[in-house]
């Protein structure tokens, strides 16, 4: 694992270029720009690429950031989207990712580490850094995630790994609260 300093900054107009660096020329997976859970599938397909990018940029200019950019030794290398459940209508309609109860949560919906940093074992530290940021900025004290738990010896595909890997959340202190599908636990962490 890298021993560099991992820092977090909210996505704003001032960090937009760093977000673009992390997302890459294709905007993450297939022109998503991290709008997958925020739009219907029809909207997402219509907005694909530049439309999704513009929609995320508009969110970055609001008072409440839609997520944070991570830096390793001042180099942008990670992204995490989060928000209230109501920020993610597609997630609420999903039978797999719908709320398991009425507890207010901050939902971590997408975690991305740039390809050149993925083999460094940074995901648990990135999750911890995001939670440390939320501990200082969020009134909601429960963080929820819907990671994938791939079978032993088989990597998760890029389309399912966007919500994170369950073992990394366990290392970061999350506990499982539900399992709507064999490979999809619902995990939570209580902020101090």
Percent pLDDT > 90 in the chain is 74
Summarize pLDDT for 152-166 with one digit per residue, the tens.
877 776 666 889 999
Q: Give the pLDDT confidence score for residue 187 in this predicted structure.
A: 98
Mean of all residue pLDDT scores within the chain: 92
CA distance 113 to 52: 19
Q: Residues 134, 66, 132, CA angle at the centre, nearest 5°?
A: 15
The whole-number pLDDT of residue 49 equals: 83
Quick one: average pLDDT of 77-84?
97
**How large a percentage of the chain has pLDDT more than 70?**
96
pLDDT at 153: 77
Mean pLDDT of 94-116: 93
User: Is residue 84's pLDDT more than 70?
Assistant: yes
The 10s digit of each residue's pLDDT in 16-66 is 999 999 999 989 888 899 999 999 888 888 888 899 999 999 999 999 999
CATH class for the region spanning 6-190: alpha beta
Average pLDDT over residues 136-143: 98
Q: Which of 131, 134, 137, 140 lies closest to 173, judged by CA?
A: 131
Domain ranges of the chain: 6-190
- 2: confidence class by pLDDT, cuts 50, 70, 90: low
Q: Are 107 and 130 in contact (CB under 8 A)?
A: no
């Amino acid at each position: 694992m890298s021993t560099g300093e991992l820092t977090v900054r909210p996505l704003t107009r001032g960090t937009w270029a760093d977000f673009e660096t992390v997302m890459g020329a294709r905007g993450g997976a297939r022109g998503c720009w991290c709008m997958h859970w925020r739009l219907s599938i029809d909207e997402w397909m219509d907005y694909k690429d530049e439309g999704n990018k513009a929609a995320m940029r508009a969110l970055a200019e609001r008072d409440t950031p839609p997520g944070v950019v991570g830096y390793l030794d001042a180099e942008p290398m990670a992204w995490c989207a989060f928000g209230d459940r109501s920020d993610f209508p597609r997630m609420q309609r999903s039978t797999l990712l719908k709320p398991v109860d009425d507890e207010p949560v901050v939902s971590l919906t997408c975690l991305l580490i740039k390809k050149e940093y993925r083999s460094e074992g940074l995901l648990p530290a990135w999750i911890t850094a995001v939670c440390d940021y939320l501990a200082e900025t969020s009134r909601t004290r429960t963080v929820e995630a819907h990671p994938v738990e791939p079978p032993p010896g088989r990597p998760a595909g890029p389309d399912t790994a966007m919500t994170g890997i369950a073992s990394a959340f366990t290392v970061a202190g999350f506990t499982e609260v539900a399992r709507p599908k064999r490979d999809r636990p619902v995990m939570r962490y209580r902020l101090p």
